[in-house]
Amino acid sequence: MAESVLTSRAKFARSPIAHLEAALAEGSVTGERGVTLSEVAFRTMISLRVDPSEPEASRLAAVLGASLPLTCGAVGAGPAHQVLWLGPDEFLVVSGEDAGELVGRLVEAVGESPGLVVDVSANRTTLELAGPSARAVLEKGCMLDLHPRAFTAGTAMSTQIGPVPVILWQTDDVPTYRILPRASFSEYAALWLLDAMLEYAEPEVP
């Protein structure tokens, strides 16, 4: 169902960096120093504001198949939805499911309790940076400590890459990072990353 929804949406929408598709492919590097950059477009994103200590949190977890994360950087991961911690009572739900249907179920779960459920899918796009040199590329312009001792798979934090505010989310140990800039900054973020990747297309100087 999720794949068909995304396919249908893609027929009628254009991602904010669709015009860079060829540049992303050409800028990707293979080999021992490899790093690739691509866009994962049209992901459903829902802003969720709720107190995770209240009863509605368990109802939301039942809908999402994942508990609301309680600590900075944590990600609640279910089979269909991921929940990123953005603040003590603020979360970002990322999903491949239709936004309207998911928002409806989340609103029902919140019920009459204080809370907020808003579809923000058009607010951001998703860049995926992966490969042996991915961390080194990010370290050129990210203030977070990205060493595995501090930033591991299943970690997501608000930060900056260059001058662009993003949510940075490491999804596996390759490493693979998902970078969520606001749509209006996504072209700049992609071009910044492509420029930072250039050196890895050449052999390492001893």
Query: Residue ranges per domain, the chain?
Result: 20-42+125-201, 44-121
The pLDDT tens digits of the residues spanning 38-56 come to 999 999 999 999 999 999 9
Average pLDDT of the residues of the chain: 92
CA distance 91 to 171: 17
CATH dotted code for 20-42+125-201: 3.30.1360.120
SS (H, E, C) the chain: CHHHHHHHHHHHCCCCCHHHHHHHHHHCECCCCCEEEEECCCCEEEEEECCCCCCHHHHHHHHHCCCCCCCCCEEEECCCEEEEEEECCEEEEEECCCHHHHHHHHHHHHCCCCCEEEECHHHECCEEEECCCHHHHHCCCECCCCCCCCCCCCEEEEEEECCEEEEEEEEECCCEEEEEEEHHHHHHHHHHHHHHHHHHHCCCCC
Tokens 């700049």 locate to 188
Q: Could you read off the pLDDT of 64-78 as tens digits, one per residue?
A: 999 999 999 999 999
Question: CATH 3.30.70.1520: does it fit domain 44-121?
Answer: yes
Per-residue pLDDT at 11: 52
Query: Cβ of 130: how many Cβ atoms within 10 Å?
Result: 19
